Structure 1
Amino acid sequence: MSRRHSSGSNTAATILAAIADIAAVILGLWIVMYWLDANRANDLVDFVQGAAHWLAGWSHDLFTVDPDWLRVLLNYGLPAVVYLFIGHAVAGRLRRV
């Protein structure tokens, strides 16, 4: 029984870490798209912007600095780092269970 529980914990930890990674990639991708002035009329760019805005909703306008590129970096980069840190920390705890 212990072996099954450990395997389930490892699977859950892997899934959690993957979700954190995907969230961080979406946020990072939006930062790059913003910096490169991607065409916001494009469906992919619109999807990434919407997903990043939703993921960073809790930190929206946390930083109101100029220039715009720095504000985008801080307001979307901070959530990316938080998701990675918390996601991988919790995944690590799950693996030790």
Structure 2
Amino acid sequence: MSPAYRRGSNKAGSVIAIVADIMAFILGLWILMYLLDANRANDFVQFVHDAATWLAGWSHDLFTFDEQWARVVAGYGLAAVVYLFVGHAIASRVNRH
């Protein structure tokens, strides 16, 4: 059974969940672009990088792995998971009231 905010019972909960999903998507997209060595001179790649850096400002360089790719995956990945978890928890809480 899908959560209440997915069934449309409360618009605020749906909006919160969608925003959390978009934030996590941007972070995941940057991780993928980084791992695939996307052209950073491209405007879209630069936009995604800037947005992801802003979203993950609190977790950027949180880990000190020797490999840069591991720091990117861990730092931006942690932010994505936190946004998903917190966003969906808040959406679920909003729908209970």
Same fold, judged at TM 0.5 (above): yes
Structure number with bigger Rg? 1
Letter of the 1:68 counterpart: Q
* 2:22 alignment counterpart: 22
The Cα of 1:21 is off from its aligned counterpart by 0.2
Report Cα offsets for 1:58-87 as digits up to 9, x if no partner.
112100112111110001000000000000
The Cα of 1:10 is off from its aligned counterpart by 0.9
Alpha-carbon separation, structure 1, partners of 2:18 and 2:46: 23
The Cα of 1:90 is off from its aligned counterpart by 0.5
**2:37 counterpart SS class:** coil
Output the TM-score relative to the length of structure 2: 0.89
Q: Percent same amino acid among aligned pairs?
A: 66
Alpha-carbon separation, structure 2, partners of 1:66 and 1:48: 24
Q: What is the RMSD computed on CA atoms of the aligned residues?
A: 0.9
Output the TM-score relative to the length of structure 1: 0.89
Alpha-carbon separation, structure 2, partners of 1:12 and 1:64: 38
Aligned length: 89
Which aligned segments of 4 or more residues in structure 1 are displaced greater than 4 angstroms?
A: none
Letter of the 1:11 counterpart: K
* 2:4 alignment counterpart: none
The Cα of 1:38 is off from its aligned counterpart by 0.1
**2:71 counterpart SS class:** helix
* 2:79 alignment counterpart: 79
* 2:11 alignment counterpart: 11
**Does 2:54 align with 1:34?**
no
